[in-house]
Amino acid sequence: MSKIRNHIYLSKRFFISLLLVVALFILGYSFAWFYFAGRLTLLVFIVLTVSDFSWLFFNRERLTIQRKLPARLSLGDDNPILVSIRSDFPMKISYEVIEELPPQFQKRDFLVKGQLLPGESYQLDYLLKPLTRGEYNFGYTNVYVSSVLGFIQHRIKGSEPETVAVYPSFISMRKLELMAISNRLEDVGVKRIRKVGLHSEFDQIREYVPGDDSRTLNWKATARRATLMVNQYQDERSQQVVSLIDMGRVMEMPFNGMALLDYAINASLIISNTAMFKHDRAGLITFSDQIHSLVAPDRKGGHLQRILEVLYKQQADFNESSYEKLYATVSSKIRQRSLLILYTNFEGMPSMRRQLPYLKKLAGKHLLLVVFFENTEVQQLADARSRSLEEVYVHNIARKFIHDKKLMVREMKRAGIMALLTPPESLSVNLINKYLEIKARELI
């Protein structure tokens, strides 16, 4: 809440005034009238300082500070923070707000200045964008109060220190879910996919209404009821979508302050929610040289929260990932044909070819979609203009890296494996588009 600790500080105005008094006394050694002016100024200065101190000291309980933090923060999203300040001082005050933000933000220049009249309130809204998961420790909200004189500043430390956990991007997940409900997904780049062919799962027989497809007429039911009857179909349900997240060292590469692993975690949460929204069952496996966690595919109440809690705890271990163990786990735990979405990162053809035999085995039993990342910084380097012989070599090497990524996609497609090469910041939208395309083509 407020008024936790109180401290008195001398302001810059105090020291400037004090220097003026000292200067007058020094000049008084040469000019007598400066000496008398200095004595008078010193007397006024002492009276004003004591008055300012007394006014602030006896009114120290007249400021209320309250900070409202969310129950948890969303990774990679702008999270709103609210600080409320109310003044019950009998006169106008000036204030400076300094927040003790968690060290993960590395923000040491937080300062907001303003003035408040008696009984007036001020609400400070600001946004924080965490780039790593984990616990964030907020300190006090420091408010420096001064009167019209401004000789003394009174620091009031309000709002108790709090710890808030940063979870995978549930704000983006809810945003996409609401846009899907309101049919506005195209606003964020999700394409409207046209359904190919008939729906594959029978739902019910009902009476014909104008506009129904004549190919769905049920002649036996029509003969029994003496009225036109049609078969109604719906999308196939209870298909399985399992996210496979590589926790090895290749996923620790940072882009725009966030590791590839965190982009993958955010996308897996969003695609799990989308799959459950489409009546599919969502599952999760995280692995490196061993299996870290396994959440069996399901869509019961609370299942998405379970996936969220598991994703929150994941940490890379910088080991070489074992696709052999991944294949063995999928073979024993995922018996039904499923859509497997593998999040990984191949930086070269040799590393991809080492794992290709296991990817082929996975694709033989399931529909496998391998998601890996474009290096946007390398792309910018390749697109830059060469101004020297050295830059020509550097740019050609960058173009080779980009070409290798495209070759990986072609080689996977030749092996019967679906591949999605995407910039990290566009991963969620591109993945949803791919999932909707797979659903429309009835590949699973």
Q: What is the pLDDT of residues 344-399, one digit of tens each?
A: 998 788 888 999 999 999 999 999 999 999 887 777 777 778 788 887 887 788 88
> 74 and 171 in contact (C-beta within 8 Å)?
yes
Helix, strand, coil percentages (3-state) for the chain, rounded to 5, are: 40, 30, 30
Percentage of the chain beyond pLDDT 70 is 87
Is 200 inside any structural domain?
A: no
CATH number of the domain within which 73 lies: 2.60.40.10
Same-domain pairing of 343 and 406: yes
Same-domain pairing of 273 and 406: yes
- 105: which DSSP letter? G
Same-domain pairing of 278 and 218: no
Average pLDDT over residues 62-89: 91
Tens digits of residue pLDDT in 241-291: 999 999 988 888 888 889 999 999 999 999 999 999 888 999 999 999 999
Is 135 inside any structural domain?
A: yes
> 340 and 443 in contact (C-beta within 8 Å)?
no
Same-domain pairing of 301 and 369: yes
Same-domain pairing of 335 and 386: yes
Is 199 inside any structural domain?
A: no
Same-domain pairing of 301 and 421: yes
pLDDT, mean over the chain: 84
* Lowest-confidence region among 138-142, 155-159, 177-181, 329-333: 177-181
pTM of the model: 0.77
Residue 194: count other Cβ atoms within 10 Å of its Cβ.
Answer: 6
Is 201 inside any structural domain?
A: no
Domain count, the chain: 3
Instruction: Report strand pairing: 162-167 vs 72-74.
Output: parallel
> 99 and 190 in contact (C-beta within 8 Å)?
no
CATH number of the domain within which 399 lies: 3.40.50.410
Same-domain pairing of 223 and 297: no
Same-domain pairing of 281 and 396: yes
Task: Provide the domain limits for residue 430.
Answer: 170-194+236-440
Work out the end-to-end distance of the chain between its first and last CA atoms, rounded to an integer number of angstroms: 54
Is 2 inside any structural domain?
A: yes
Is 280 inside any structural domain?
A: yes
| SS3 label, residue 250 | helix
Same-domain pairing of 177 and 151: no
User: According to the model, what pLDDT value does residue 172 have?
Assistant: 85
Question: CB pairs under 8 A, 24+ apart, for 51-55?
Answer: 51/149, 52/147, 52/149, 52/150, 52/151, 52/152, 53/8, 53/151, 53/152, 55/147
User: According to the model, what pLDDT value does residue 135 have?
Assistant: 92
Same-domain pairing of 67 and 127: yes
> 243 and 237 in contact (C-beta within 8 Å)?
no
Tens digits of residue pLDDT in 161-186: 999 999 999 888 888 766 655 555 55
Same-domain pairing of 157 and 267: no
Same-domain pairing of 91 and 174: no
